[in-house]
Amino acid sequence: MQKLVSYPLSIIYYLCFGFFLVLFHPIQWFCFNVFGYQAHKKSVDYLNFFLVRCTNLLGTTYQFENTESIPKNVPIIFVANHQSLYDIVAIIWYLRDFHCKFVSKKELGKGIPSVSYNLNHGGSVLIDRKDSKQAIPLIKGLSEYIEKNTRSALIFPEGTRSRTGQPKSFAQSGLKILCKHAPSAYVVPITINNSWKMVRFGAFPMGLGNRLKFTIHQPLKVSEFSFEELMEQTEKVVVEGIQI
């Protein structure tokens, strides 16, 4: 029944979602080229505000727990499980104060209104997942960027989305580079729940009435742990928080 009801709502949702992507592409360009980083950042924030509101048409709600525990005025490395693109939309808006940058696959850097422009000009990095050597200097540059500018990076160590909510093994390489070159950073683990249900039927129709939950766990200061301890604790707390 839900799937049947979702068809007309999904059409309305995609029309709205696509409208805002197209609308904000020239807005981003104008903000970036005329006023610079801060204006561009605001335009991206409000783009994602409207994208979040689009998902409300599907009955989607969002809950962020323990945001007050995130350290202020220090570099942050957010580490999360990955369930759908709605992880990213929500994090950009609800954690907007932390200027989050992403480690994304290079395919997202072309042809997607607003999304590709932001990834290419907003401080994120685009990597070729088939070429690990190419990724190393790019992730190193991102870690140096957040260290210098006191901003944040988000990495999904699973490497790709879990389409059922079941976590995949965390890869170490990307997080290891970020920690090595941002020594004053804090690793902040995030457990994401129910985002995969948004696309439980695939790209169309959309899942309805989902409550997406983002749990912020205890921050870990990079300089106080060996990388092995940091990796073990981060993966453990993220995975234990996943509810299937």
9-55 pLDDT, tens digit each: 999 999 999 999 999 999 999 999 999 999 999 999 999 999 999 99
Residue 162 binned pLDDT confidence (cut-offs 50, 70, 90): confident
Q: Which pair of structure tokens corresponds to residue 175?
A: 């997080």
Span 110-118, mean pLDDT? Answer: 96
Looking at the DSSP bridge assignments, the partners of residue 211 are: 61
Query: Which residues make Cβ contacts (< 8 Å) with residue 31, sequence separation at least 6?
Result: 39, 40, 42, 43
Which of the residue ranges 9-18, 159-168, 206-215, 225-234 would you say has the lowest mean pLDDT?
Answer: 159-168
Rounded Cα–Cα distance for residues 244 and 234 (Å): 19
**Helices 227-240 and 173-181: crossing angle, nearest 10°?**
120
Q: Which helix (H) or strand (E) covers residue 214, if one does? A: strand 211-216
| Closest to 92 in 3D by CA, of 43, 135, 55 | 43
| Closest to 146 in 3D by CA, of 76, 84, 68, 51 | 76
- Parallel, antiparallel or unpaired: strands 220-221 and 100-105: unpaired
Q: Which pair of structure tokens corresponds to residue 164?
A: 């059922």
Alpha helices in the chain (DSSP H): 2-30, 37-56, 86-94, 115-121, 132-149, 173-181, 227-240
Please check the confidence at residue 7 and state whether its pLDDT lies above 80: yes
DSSP one-letter code for 31: I
Span 176-191, mean pLDDT? Answer: 97
pLDDT of residue 167: 86
Rounded Cα–Cα distance for residues 57 and 209 (Å): 9
Query: Which residues make Cβ contacts (< 8 Å) with residue 81, sequence separation at least 6?
Result: 156, 158, 162, 167, 190, 191, 192, 238, 239, 242
pLDDT of residue 146: 97
String of DSSP letters for 156-206:
-TTSS--SSSPPPPPPSHHHHHHHHH-TT-EEEEEEEESGGGGGTT-SSSP
